[in-house]
Structure 1
């Protein structure tokens, strides 16, 4: 009864389309033009965090960490020298730093260890000294030590290797106290492979220099990021030009802003290339398979364009942008749009040639082919909507946009496509097709199946068993680096930076929050102690913390007591030190300001006599920009970055650190990409499993509602079920892992593949002749073309530079092939066995 009502409704639709076909075309034309506005204003969000679960605690903690400590807010310039002589390109480094500091888009620039630390470190110099450094300091402040240092300064300046930097540092620090400090500090940087001896951030092999810049805007503000990228390119180009493009020198840029812009450009490239490739391949397939006239091909193209335009308009109205995952929606939906168009065109062409009557051709097309398309659209859209049960924002938006897109495609095909077909056929287009088809129906294919049913089913059973072994080998890839875009200059520069800095992977981050600064100071001391212990035990390779700016509190107290003893030495007086120093300077021919010498020595002696530990109040007063990466004064929290050993973050190591963090209570938290993607792995597998089960259940309900026979429902679902089994089996053998991107393809395979079973069963039960051969002649080419267009559409994603997106296309392409194989080989064989029982289910 319901099927009769649907056919009656479609007859009325056919009458309306035939009567008002021109007005329908005009209406859709207006919609397309209106949709152009949204397409040109569509933004592309490139942050991978935007596609992760919004309600997940681990994700929320990681986002909070990124926001509070600005770890993605720095731009890093890497100036490389092929001959490992980066010190010969100091002019270029200074020029880049100068251009950056003058840019209104840059908040500050840091390209040397003393740029922001010098005055602060001179004031608190003794607190940063180790035991050896304190001994050197005590010796340096003796009369003999002063005379010896002034003589060394003289020899250094008259050397042909001296530089303006040497002169400046000696004038500011005639006793060269900062070298004692630097010797202690360098021990902190030994594992990081940095050489600070020349006042710049050089790698130890002198193959590169680093400059850090803090932009004024956030990396999530894509308009700012786009403008910043242009500014950085201009700064780099002008600096190289002014330095005469030194040979063998390259400048790379990495950091959150640079990576965000690269990803945005890559997504834009992938969408453009995959869409264009899909359209070209699908157009060629249609020309080869159906040999249609250009007018018909234009109609298919216009209908597809209308569907895409309206879908993107809805996406803009709902979300305002496309993210990393939804950027694949165009390529995924193109083949669905074309599938529906092919069914309409083929049936209309056949009926028009048979009756030479546009209205009769339209009515038969809608009543015979329309139900299958509507049923297919419902099952496919529900498959996309089922993804909404996941709490992954990226997959959620993909499900919404794609689900709505499928419904809109169905509407465009039912109304716009048929209106255009009626319009051109009424104008006298008698031959819609021409020449010989590339595919000439199913031909002798049914004869091939006859008599081989048992062999086919036996082979199918063997293939299922083999697929089971492949499924056992299937893995889940939660390594974000392996899914990142290729050919991204910023990402490649970031990897190169990690190699030069000796970093073997993403860090784990320990965050400690407190209600007061005294308690936070004690926690910082404990954090330093345990981090050092883990480093010595080879649990971690290295760590980076606030100790660069504020030594461990307990060590500070030891230094304070030791230095006060030195300060109370009767020989350590300003007048006696000044007399010795001035005498030595005059003897060695230095020009100096006596007032500055007095002030310099007075500050040194006063510091030793009144030295106090550096606390968080003093740290805030220093106004050192990079401190914000380790200390957030707004919520009184600190962070330490733990770096893995060469073996990476194995479960045992992470559990060891995590257990310690848990034992410290709720104020200690462990975050980081390694545990972030491990945490969401189980969540996404579970959610995708629920989405798949829900997809299957809804498909069963819809198919049963239409066919009203349990056996028919089973047969319709057979191709997609076996196709899914074969797909994951092939993935296991081919070492194609599931990941956070392509895991959604499970539900999509059931949504796309179920169409093949519907087309074959519909053709078998709906037509006048109940025969497998007739069903294959009617639906066989369509199923092949559906699979081919899916491969052309979704398969075009394989060319994407974004590896995660490319794997979606690969999985869906394998799914299309396996589902088509089961629909055209295994399903007809079973129909031959169950033909008598199916006759009772005839519509």
Structure 2
């Protein structure tokens, strides 16, 4: 009846779980629901929609290849409507046509006007005769004027003072960056014509602002090394890996496009991709580790018990308890989160220990006499209190964690703690019922539980003083000489290093200083947005701020007036830019020689305050020499062909720049309606409020950078939110939760042990494995170079429960028989401790096959901690017992097999007729 009821309850629990259990897939769901940063993030999501994108990062060898790759990939993604609902590869700025000069500051507009005024004759001359040779001829004339008259007007000159009262001597030195850019581009065109893509050198001629003349709107890093595509996917289902199908499809599309662009590297990163890759890896590794653990534990059981059916009864009992736990979780908590889903492996590793202890003692008692009822009662009465205390201490260790402010960790504590109690309940009810069904009328031969013929530790126990001295010295040396383990806060380090999203996140930061993580701040008005943007940008920890503030500039009346003044210099310029005169290589070589000679002139030939810096001159000379050397190695026919092609692109590009100035020199004011819809949707909420995305200057994944970033932002906005803020407080709460939970658990555990033993000495002895095992674990971490992290920190309550359990069982056996406790491996208690420790080591050690670094570190640290507590329980504690006076209970006669028992209801199985080996 007991077994039938247990199975029925398990079936009901599984059915209820399948029909009602939910999954909290958002990491925000694990934090405190009333935390300000969580409320702010939820509010931002409602107002601005989805702020999380899959980020495709493209790293091409040349800009043109990057553009072609982006176009090909984005076209494929738009056609895949099954997986993707929005693809953003460019920002369509056509709504700003005619107004783009208003994005220049007044000072920049004045500077541009001065440059155009200085170069007006140059531009007119070039429009009369477009071409590379005429261009270099004009440059040569301007350098000559600068050298002879020591003036800085002209193409290569600097602007005049832009405001009244400005000292002309403050003007910068002669700028030859255009010359360096021109020669560098010429050399590229001559060196690798097959792969060459034109890059404009004209930006430095006008304003040194690459973005000013960009009309394609590609999303790129500041240095143009990376292109980006933002992809909003269609999540599948409501599991922890609901983005997996879309991410796999996205990577497949990238691989297909890369066949046509083998030199272009690309990958997927972003918050959703990082979370998905971690969950996929964790689930894969956990499944493999669980299968390996179950197989290894089964083999270990069979070897230890030398039979099959009894170990299978323990496994069956554990499976029933796990089913009950699922039902309890669904009924009380109602959901699983990314942390609490790990309760199953925890219970498999720990919950089976209770059945092992009970079954081991039952085997010992049954081997001593044939009566099933008597052997079962004796085993459970003598071992049950220790098992119950061990289960209670481990459960309380988990319950203590439930008092943390971090919701995900609190739910894990409740589920795991309750699961431990349900495993105990199954061990004390279902397992004896199964044993009764299986062997009440079977004759079991002696020697069922004879794992060790002799005590393996007997030799070292014969020299207790030497052994104790060596252990003491080694422990002291480890405490004094070895450093304490560090805590690795970097969440990227938890994943396998070759995980694609992690690789590209790190490459993105190392290559451009960017990250897919940014903080969010919301303001109510455009004026407040501008003020806060300026204040954020002034913070040392902030790299940049993205908002709509820069798209609706201030002082537009002033800027419009200055922009209209530019039309005087550009509106009437026309030229046959598409048909320059064919190149004459000899004329070009002559001009290059003249320019090179002048660039090498003595510093005294230049105006002392206007001479270019030696670094700029060196760069221009080097670029010019490279062009001359390349032309010397080309035939005249090849050189003419390549130079004509370059000249065509150079003049066409100049025409584009000139047309841009002509089209934007008579602007009207920019309003919110002119902002590109993609940006307006992202930065202007349904409520009319404005969003700011704030990026960190340093590596946001490192603790120091993250803390400085969050703290500095909060000085200006107490409600700042976003992934860095949420991660910062989540890590802090988890760390504090485990530390606080461990402290509370230790206090409660000590209280439970005192209630169990009711004396100070056995209570202190039961804590010996915790003390020594803890010291050795810390020393072992230092020797292995193992850091604490967010994944393996859970070992704290695990270690407390396991180490205390071992101590309780040894001390409980001591109270029953002092001599037995001094040689624990000579009886079932010590052997059960070995077996439970080995099953835990095998169970958690199987996690070391994981590629996920966090799971691997959890497995390694668990193996280390359990091994240390096992040695402390089987070596240190028996050594201490050898040096203490033998315990002789005062309340029971020496002949009583239940001497020293603290349980009052042991009389039936402890009758005078009962004989045991002790």
Task: Check whether TM > 0.5.
Answer: yes
In structure 2, the residue matched to 1:26 is 4
Name whichever of 31-40 and 270-279 sits farther off: 31-40
Equivalent runs, 1:505-520 vs 2, <5 Å: 509=519, 513-520=522-529
In structure 1, the residue matched to 2:289 is 274
CA pair 647-705 structure 1, distance change in 2 beyond 3 A = closer
Q: Deviations over 1:585-633 (max 9, x none)?
A: 9999xxxxxxxxxxxx999989644533x4xxx2355243245666657
CA pair 770-804 structure 1, distance change in 2 beyond 3 A = closer
CA pair 639-265 structure 1, distance change in 2 beyond 3 A = same
In structure 2, the residue matched to 1:110 is 88
Equivalent runs, 1:643-654 vs 2, <5 Å: 643-644=696-697
* SS in structure 2 of the partner of residue 738 of structure 1: coil
Question: Aligned equivalents of 2:120 and 2:88: distance in 1?
Answer: 31
- Aligned-residue Cα RMSD (Å) equals 4.8
Question: Aligned equivalents of 2:123 and 2:244: distance in 1?
Answer: 59
Question: Aligned equivalents of 2:531 and 2:663: distance in 1?
Answer: 27
Aligned partners of 2:360 and 2:828 also within 8 Å? no
Q: Deviations over 1:72-98 (max 9, x none)?
A: 6112224556xx367458665333212
Aligned partners of 1:513 and 1:636 also within 8 Å? yes
Aligned partners of 1:328 and 1:797 also within 8 Å? no
Shift of residue 383, structure 1, vs aligned partner: 0.9
* SS in structure 1 of the partner of residue 785 of structure 2: coil
Equivalent runs, 1:374-385 vs 2, <5 Å: 374-385=388-399
Question: Aligned equivalents of 1:146 and 1:43: distance in 2?
Answer: 74
2:744 equivalent to 1:694: yes
Shift of residue 742, structure 1, vs aligned partner: 3.0
Aligned partners of 1:46 and 1:263 also within 8 Å? no
Q: 2:414 aligns with which of 378, 386, 400?
A: 400
Question: Aligned equivalents of 2:487 and 2:577: distance in 1?
Answer: 71
Aligned partners of 2:391 and 2:421 also within 8 Å? yes
In structure 1, the residue matched to 2:513 is 503
2:210 equivalent to 1:186: yes
2:432 equivalent to 1:418: yes
Q: Any gaps of 5 or more consecutive residues in structure 1? A: 1-22, 154-158, 167-175, 190-195, 589-600
* SS in structure 2 of the partner of residue 790 of structure 1: helix
Q: Deviations over 1:75-122 (max 9, x none)?
A: 2224556xx36745866533321232244454432223xx41233244
* SS in structure 2 of the partner of residue 756 of structure 1: helix
CA pair 646-694 structure 1, distance change in 2 beyond 3 A = closer
Aligned partners of 1:86 and 1:208 also within 8 Å? no
2:322 equivalent to 1:296: no
Shift of residue 136, structure 1, vs aligned partner: 7.1
* SS in structure 2 of the partner of residue 835 of structure 1: coil
Question: Aligned equivalents of 2:865 and 2:342: distance in 1?
Answer: 17
Shift of residue 334, structure 1, vs aligned partner: 1.4
Equivalent runs, 1:356-371 vs 2, <5 Å: 356-371=370-385
TM-score (norm 2): 0.70
Q: Deviations over 1:469-527 (max 9, x none)?
A: 26753322222222235443333233334344x12667674x65544323333443455
Question: Aligned equivalents of 1:659 and 1:323: distance in 2?
Answer: 28
Question: Aligned equivalents of 1:284 and 1:197: distance in 2?
Answer: 68
In structure 2, the residue matched to 1:96 is 73
Equivalent runs, 1:192-271 vs 2, <5 Å: 200-201=218-219, 209-215=227-233, 225-229=243-247, 231-232=249-250, 235-236=253-254, 240=257, 247=262, 251-271=266-286
* SS in structure 2 of the partner of residue 413 of structure 1: helix
Aligned partners of 1:344 and 1:365 also within 8 Å? yes
Please say which structure displays the higher CA radius of gyration. 2
* SS in structure 2 of the partner of residue 794 of structure 1: helix
Shift of residue 351, structure 1, vs aligned partner: 2.7
CA pair 49-558 structure 1, distance change in 2 beyond 3 A = same
Q: 1:748 aligns with which of 778, 787, 798?
A: 798
Q: Any gaps of 5 or more consecutive residues in structure 2? A: 133-188, 582-657, 892-899, 902-918
Question: Aligned equivalents of 1:687 and 1:646: distance in 2?
Answer: 26
CA pair 404-621 structure 1, distance change in 2 beyond 3 A = farther
CA pair 77-816 structure 1, distance change in 2 beyond 3 A = same
State how many pairs are aligned. 754
CA pair 658-779 structure 1, distance change in 2 beyond 3 A = closer
2:819 equivalent to 1:807: no
2:445 equivalent to 1:445: no
CA pair 834-286 structure 1, distance change in 2 beyond 3 A = same
CA pair 138-46 structure 1, distance change in 2 beyond 3 A = farther
Q: Deviations over 1:152-193 (max 9, x none)?
A: 89xxxxx9x99xxx9xxxxxxxxx9x989997652699xxxx
CA pair 479-525 structure 1, distance change in 2 beyond 3 A = closer
In structure 1, the residue matched to 2:882 is 832
Aligned partners of 1:763 and 1:778 also within 8 Å? no
Aligned partners of 1:332 and 1:793 also within 8 Å? no
Question: Aligned equivalents of 2:816 and 2:112: distance in 1?
Answer: 92
Q: 2:822 aligns with which of 766, 772, 775?
A: 772
In structure 2, the residue matched to 1:596 is none
Question: Aligned equivalents of 1:348 and 1:659: distance in 2?
Answer: 60
Aligned partners of 2:56 and 2:229 also within 8 Å? yes
2:470 equivalent to 1:459: yes
CA pair 825-744 structure 1, distance change in 2 beyond 3 A = same
Q: 1:324 aligns with which of 312, 316, 338?
A: 338
Question: Aligned equivalents of 1:58 and 1:402: distance in 2?
Answer: 28
Aligned partners of 2:241 and 2:279 also within 8 Å? no
